[in-house]
Structure formats: C-alpha cells, structure tokens
Amino acid sequence: MSARAKPAPVPTPETQPYFDAAAEGELKIQRCLDCGKPFFYPRPCCPFCASDALEWITASGRGTLYSYTINHRPAPGFEQDAPYAIAVVQLSEGPRMMANIVGIENTPDNLVLDMDVEVTFEKRGDVTIPQFRPAGREAI
C-alpha cells in the first residue's frame, strides 16, 4: 500500500499572490492602505475597516509559537509525519497564522510557547506551503 500524498490547497484569485510568493520562498501577507493594519488570511477587504484598498507586503518570516496541538491520529497523507504539531504562529508583523512546526520532534518538551520560529517552505503538488521551524535551524 503506497502512502497518500498530503492534501494541498487550491489557490483562489484572492490567495494566488500568497501561493506565488511562497513558491519563490517569500511569505506575503496583506496590509490595508487605509488603516495600515496587516492581516492574514488573504481576503478581498480589510477585516478591521472593510476597505478594499489593500497591498501585499513581504513578511519577515519570523514569529513566535502562540499555541499548538500535537496530532497523534494523522489525517490522510500525514501518516508518515505523526505525531505532528498543528500550530498558531504569531508573526512579527502582528497577524497569526496556522501552520505545522517542522524540523523538531513534536513533543511538549520541544514545543515551548513563545519560542522563536521562522518560516520554511514545503512543496505539495503544484503549491508551496509555508511551515515554521525553530529559529536558527536548517531546513529539513
């Protein structure tokens, strides 16, 4: 029995710039041109002031581990990664985003809240997905 491929999102017109940037090794988020607040996930209007005057900015790719859960019962395609961390990362720019923590054994002893993390990228099918690893570690 062969391993299943990890599921991959299908880009939409709102998310295509995000995935295009990830394919180039950049983490992009949106910022409102009216209120100046950055946000994530991509959408057609600002969640703070409802303006549609938005721009894409390159995020630093750095942040901290805000929260996580360790999944021991993997979803299809993630069998070889179990146990794995499903995390919420607080980006240095302010927004929070969900991702996996990679490059570390996913145990409570290793996943310390507020630890510094940095973005890394994982190719899945036709898209590239931002993931995070403890800061200062090489990509695996």
pLDDT in tens, 6-48: 888 899 999 999 999 999 999 999 999 999 999 999 999 999 9
Closest by CA position to 119, among listed 86, 83, 89: 89
As given in the structure block, the two tokens for residue 56 are: 């894409």
Q: Considering the domain boundaries, does residue 93 fall inside one? A: yes
Its domain, for residue 118, covers: 16-134
Q: Per residue in 63-94, pLDDT tens?
A: 999 999 999 988 887 777 889 999 999 999 99
Q: Considering the domain boundaries, does residue 114 fall inside one? A: yes
pLDDT band with cut points at 50, 70 and 90 for residue 137: low
CATH number of domain containing 92:
2.40.50.840
Q: State how many domains the chain has.
A: 1
pLDDT over 60 at 1, yes or no:
no
Q: Considering the domain boundaries, does residue 97 fall inside one? A: yes
